[in-house]
Amino acid sequence: MSALSPDEIAQARADLATTLPDSCTISRKTRVPDGGGGSVERWTPVATGVPCRLHPASAAAGGGAGMDVGGGRLNDETTHIVTLNPKTDVRLEDRIDVDGALFEVLTVRRGGAWELQRHAEVKGA
């Protein structure tokens, strides 16, 4: 099997980007001064207007959490999958707000050099 060319990968990514009908905000936990010498945790948006697709984990797994998906297993707590463009900066423990529905990131599946889409396993926050 021959390797895909950079142009073929770019075309596949562009084609798949058209399958992301939703929009989300990715937020990360930060610590900010509380004015009394300490700090408090806040969720700070790190990316807004990010194209995505939200779907139930049962649709991805063909039956629910714990099922094999793409050579791996879903986290037992996973309720949904958020599909994003490749290389999207989303991390474990981030929060993703998809059109007002808030989710905590449990797992991020990365695809390496040939990554066509990034998948975040999430649960309702």
At 73 the pLDDT is 65
pLDDT digits (tens, 9 = 90+) for 25-78: 999 999 888 888 899 999 999 999 999 999 999 865 554 444 444 445 677 899
CA distance 38 to 102: 28
User: For the residues 78-87, what does the mean pLDDT come to?
Assistant: 95
- Domain 6-124 -> CATH class: mainly beta
Reference 120, options 86, 87, 84; nearest CA is 84
Domain ranges within the chain, ordered by starting residue: 6-124
Under 8 Å between Cβ of 96 and 103: yes
